Structure 1
Amino acid sequence: MQLTADHAEWGRLDVTLDDLGCGRSWEEIHRVRGVELTCPECGGQVHARLSKLDTRHLYHRTKPPSCSLANESLEHHLLKLELVTCARAAGFRAELEVAAPTGEWRADVMVFRPDGTRLMALEAQLSPITVEDITARTGLYERDGVRVCWFGFRPRPWVGAVPTLLVQAPEERGQGWRVTAGLARLSTRPVSWSPVDAALSDAVSWMLTGRIVPHEPLSSARKVTEEGGWGEWAQGWTRSWNDGWRLWWTSPTYAALDAECAREEAEARRRRKAEEETEARRWAIEEKEKARKKEAKDRAYAAFWSRTGLNQQQWRYFRAIAELFFDLDLVFGAPDSRYGDGRPVYERGGPDGKEWTLVGVACPDPSRLRAWAEDVALLVPSHLDLDTLAGRAWAPFQVYVLNPDTGEMDQERVLPASVRP
């Protein structure tokens, strides 16, 4: 079944129009001898007739196997007829089977602007086609300045890769065609897309008048989870498991709102990234400083053990003797350059044990004694160290000898050489 034909003098005929689109009547071609009509696609002879439901159409006396118009299915025929009817009901001039001058495309329904220029192609796509092919065909329309929408009955691999509406024919008399998927609105609390149920006639009118536009979502509302694919997300409202559905029709207001949400999310991501980078730099600086301090601490310990000649076992005995001798809860710090590379000794006190009081310095470098040596006890492991400190004294020093090898404990107040007897 087809709806258009060519006449040598009258031009293109459209049997869906009362004047056949060329100022002629149905009666002039139906059962009239001598009227030669040809198929716009294959050029074969066609004839006018009425179906059992009194629907006008044209048919090939001999159906050519390669002519798509001659082999058009009833479903395709009815959908195409509904699309042209919807476009005309919206107040637009619409024609069937309009081909490009180059022959690179032929629209099922071509809708025209008031000035006669092509506005939009409405394509009933019911036969199998690849995503690549339908995308290429859409590109040809766009190249020629023609918008396009593809209509189908059920999910296909190409659905949603190009501007698409899925539709449903009436199940009973009196019902109209409906859009089943492809229309959406955007909510902002939270940001999410939801389906819009509409009559096909309304949807066609909206797209022709610019009230809806094809839109690819930009904000995070486009998917349920970061892990979930488009199929998992889109099927929740498009009634399709097609994981290629990335484009649907919505109001320009919603498209603009989605773009604004996307900008806000991009700015939020930028801020988060900047904060993360700042935090990463801070962490890197802290880690570098920790590494520097550890390296300095390791060097200080290595220098301490080398200078004092003590090993770990001797140091443990030295500490035990100090704790026993002073009968205090002592804490020995790391070698500290502020105390002549000796190890500061603190008394731990306070109700929670967090109050530390400096009471002495263990094994300081005699050549690096400063004023602090006059105020705290100096702890050394041998009398030889005591003699060395005595030789450096410029004021009275309180020195404790805690010998880890013998367990000897001794204390002596060392005076400067100038005041010794």
Structure 2
Amino acid sequence: MQFTAEHTEWGRVDITLDDLGCGRSWEEIHRVRGVQLVCPECRGQVFPRVSKLGTRHLYHRTRPPSCSLANESLEHHLLKLELVTCARAAGFRAELEVAAPTGEWRADVMVFSPDGNRLMALEAQLSPITAEEIAARTGLYERDGVRVCWFGIRPRPWVGTVPTLLVQAPAEQGQTWTVAAGLARLSSPPEGWSPVDAALSDAVAWMLTGRILPHTPRCRSRKVTYGNEWCEWAEGWTASYSDSWRLWWTTPAYVALDAELVRQEEEDRRRRQAEEKAAARQREAKAREKARKKAAYAAFWSRTGLDQQQWRYFRALAELFFSRNLVFGAPDSRYGDGRPVYERSGPEGERWTLVGVACPDPCRLRAWAEELPLLVPSHGDLTVLAGRAWAPFQVYVLDPETGVMDRERVMPAAVGS
């Protein structure tokens, strides 16, 4: 079953058109003796007839094994007929079985723009073909400036690797062809991509008028209606080959939304990276600070000769002597590697006031020693401080061994005495 032929005088004949595409009528060829119609592929003679379903078509009396037009299936012929009918219903000139001038391709249906240029090829692909072969054929159309969409009925490994629609024939007379897979819409998160139901006639009109276009989704982190991953959306439609389906038809608005979501995802990714880097820097800074404090404490214990038990007694004596709520900070290089002493006050102890320095290194005293009381654990430390005084120092001796608590004012005159 085929729909086009060549007449020796009239030229190309398309029996799907009322005027046969050449200003003639069906009655001039159907059951008319002497009409010479030849197949455009094998050049064999073809004859017009009407099927039991009332479909006009052409046939070879002897089917040539090498002629693809003669050996196309009934499904293929009916789908081609539906595609050309949809294109014409959308207001476009469409012809069946149009070959390239070079013969490198022959479109099942070629749709023409209003200015007469080839606009789009509609290909019914029902026979087996590899993804590589269909990509090569698509490339030939693209090279010649022709858009193309491939229409299938069953899931195949190639579906979705090129612009594709899977369609479903009407189950009963009076029903229409419908799109089974290949149309999608993009909703804002968390819905993501989801399928769109449509009549085949509407889908063909949309693609010819630019209302839909083939698009490879970029927004990969969004989940979809079918499946748990972005690439599994086609599984619910085709039941197989979902991993290969990467291209579907959608509106320009959804393409723009996809790009915006990708931009947001990229911003989120950069933000997360920045946050991770900042967190890593904080962890490193904390680790360095922890190591610094550990080293400072080790140096403090070594220099003062105090152990943990003695230090607890020293702190208790200080709180007892001053009758204040005191907090001892970590060894601080700003205070001669001594431990700053703070008084906590306020309803919840939120105010910390620096009130002294415990066990500073006598060799590293600075101007602060003139203003802040110095707390030491023995009179021997007091003597060392007295030897370093350049101004009056207020020194408190809190001896954890004896429990002695003294307050001394060291004067610079003590130097050298």
Q: Structure 2: which amino acid aligns with 1:416?
A: M
The answer to whether the Cα contact below 8 Å between 2:186 and 2:257 also exists between their aligned partners in 1 is: no
Bigger mean CA offset, 280-289 vs 295-304: 280-289
Partner of 2:44: 44
- Range 219-228 or range 392-401, more displaced: 219-228
Deviation at 1:209, TM superposition (A): 3.6
Unaligned runs of 5+ in 1: none
Aligned residue-pair number: 414
The letter of the residue matching 1:146 is V
404, 410, 413: which one aligns with 2:408:
413
In the alignment, the residues of structure 1 paired with residue 94 and residue 414 of structure 2 have an alpha-carbon distance, to the nearest angstrom, of 121
Q: Which moved more, 1:410-419 or 1:70-79?
A: 410-419
The correspondence for 1:400, drawn from 384, 397, 400, is: 397
Aligned to 1:169: 169
Moved more, 112-121 or 239-248: 239-248
Question: Residues 182 and 382 of structure 1: is their aligned pair in 2 closer, same or farther, counting only changes over 3 Å?
Answer: closer
> Deviations 1:71-90 (Å, cap 9, x if unpaired)?
22111122222222333344
The Cα shift of 1:417 comes to: 6.9
Q: Where does residue 359 of structure 2 map in the other structure?
A: 363
Output the CA distance in 2 between the equivalents of 1:374 and 1:119: 92
Which amino acid is 1:400 matched to?
V
User: What residue number does 2:97 align with?
Assistant: 97
Establish whether residue 332 from structure 1 lines up as the match of residue 320 from structure 2: no
Q: Which moved more, 1:374-383 or 1:106-115?
A: 374-383
Q: Give the drift of 1:127.
A: 1.6
Matched, 1:140 2:140: yes
Taking the aligned partners of 1:14 and 1:261, their CA distance within structure 2 comes to 43
Instruction: Provide the residue aligned with 2:112 in structure 1.
Output: 112
Question: Residues of 1 paired with 2:412 and 2:123: CA distance?
Answer: 111
Worse-superposed segment, 212-221 or 106-115: 212-221
- Which residue of the partner structure matches residue 15 of structure 2? 15
TM-superposed deviation, 1:123: 1.5
Alpha carbons 1:105, 1:137 under 8 Å: kept: yes
1:261 pairs with one of 253, 257, 261: 257
Q: Is the 8 A contact 2:161 2:247 kept in 1?
A: yes
1:124, distance to aligned residue in structure 2 (A): 1.4
Q: Give, as a single letter, the amino acid of the residue that structure 2 aligns with 1:258.
A: Y
Partner of 1:67: 67
Q: Structure 1 301/187 Cα, relative in aligned 2: closer, same or farther at 3 Å?
A: closer
Letter of the 1:363 counterpart: C
CA-based RMSD of the aligned residues comes to 3.9
Equivalent residue in structure 1 for 2:380, among 374, 378, 384? 384
Which one-letter code corresponds to 1:102 in the other structure? T
CA contact (8 A) 1:134 1:158 kept: yes
> 1:128 & 1:35 partners in 2: Cα distance?
36
Q: Identify the match of residue 309 of structure 1 among 285, 305, 308.
A: 305
**Would the aligned equivalents of 1:191 and 1:221 in 2 still touch at CA under 8 Å?**
no
Cα distance change, pair 269–175 in 1 and its aligned pair in 2 (3 A): closer
Question: Secondary structure in 1 aligned to 2:233?
Answer: helix
Structure 1's 230 and 76: CA in aligned 2 closer, same or farther, altered over 3 A?
A: farther
Structure-2 change in CA distance of 1:123 and 1:376 (3 Å): closer
Q: Is the alpha carbon distance of 1:248 and 1:269 closer, same or farther for their aligned partners in structure 2, counting shifts above 3 Å? A: closer
Change (3 A) 1:149 1:226: closer
What does 1:118-133 correspond to in 2, within 5 Å? 118-133=118-133
Q: Is residue 341 of structure 1 aligned with residue 342 of structure 2?
A: no
> AA paired with 1:213?
L
Supply the AA of the counterpart residue of 2:249.
W
In structure 2, the CA distance between the partners of 1:55 and 1:328, relative to structure 1 (3 Å rule), is closer
Alpha carbons of 1:156 and 1:374: their partners in 2 closer, same or farther (altered >3 Å)?
same
Q: Distance in 1 between matches of 2:207 and 2:238?
A: 21
Q: Do residues 181 (structure 1) and 176 (structure 2) align?
A: no
Question: Aligned partners of 1:324 and 1:90: how far apart in 2?
Answer: 97
**What is the DSSP-based 3-state SS (H/G/I as helix, E as strand, rest coil) of the residue aligned with 2:123?**
strand
- Equivalent residues of 2:314, 2:398 under 8 A apart: no
Report the Cα distance in structure 1 between the residues aligned to 2:91 and 2:400, rounded to whole angstroms.
Answer: 110
Instruction: Assess, with a 3 A threshold, how the Cα gap between structure 1 residues 273 and 322 changes in structure 2: closer, same or farther.
Output: same
What amino acid is the match of 2:408? R
CA deviation vs aligned residue, 1:287-329 (integer Å, no higher than 9, x gap) = 5554554454344334433433344455455445656666765
Alpha carbons 2:392, 2:412 under 8 Å: kept: no
* Amino acid in structure 2 at the alignment position of 1:411: D
How do residues 288-307 of structure 1 correspond to structure 2 at under 5 angstroms?
289-291=285-287, 293-307=289-303
Question: Which residue matches 1:87?
Answer: 87
Q: Aligned partners of 1:225 and 1:56: how far apart in 2?
A: 42
Give the TM-score of the pair, scaled to structure 2: 0.80
8 Å CA contact 1:231–1:242 kept in 2: the answer is: no
Q: Residue 203 of structure 1 aligns with which residue? A: 203
Identity %: 69
Q: Shift of the alpha carbon at 1:187? A: 5.2
C-alpha separation in 2, matches of 1:173 and 1:36: 34
Tell me how far apart the structure 1 counterparts of residues 256 and 387 of structure 2 sit (CA, whole Å). Answer: 80
In the TM superposition, what whole-angstrom CA distance separates every residue of 1:389-415 from its partner, at most 9, and x where no partner exists?
3334443644415154xx352525355
Answer yes or no: is the 8 Å Cα contact 2:217–2:246 preserved in 1: yes
1:4 aligns with 2:4: yes
Residues 46 and 299 of structure 1: is their aligned pair in 2 closer, same or farther, counting only changes over 3 Å?
A: same
Letter in 2 for 1:383: H
Q: Name stretches of at least 5 consecutive residues in structure 2 with no aligned partner.
A: none
The answer to whether the 8 A contact 2:29-2:48 is kept is: yes
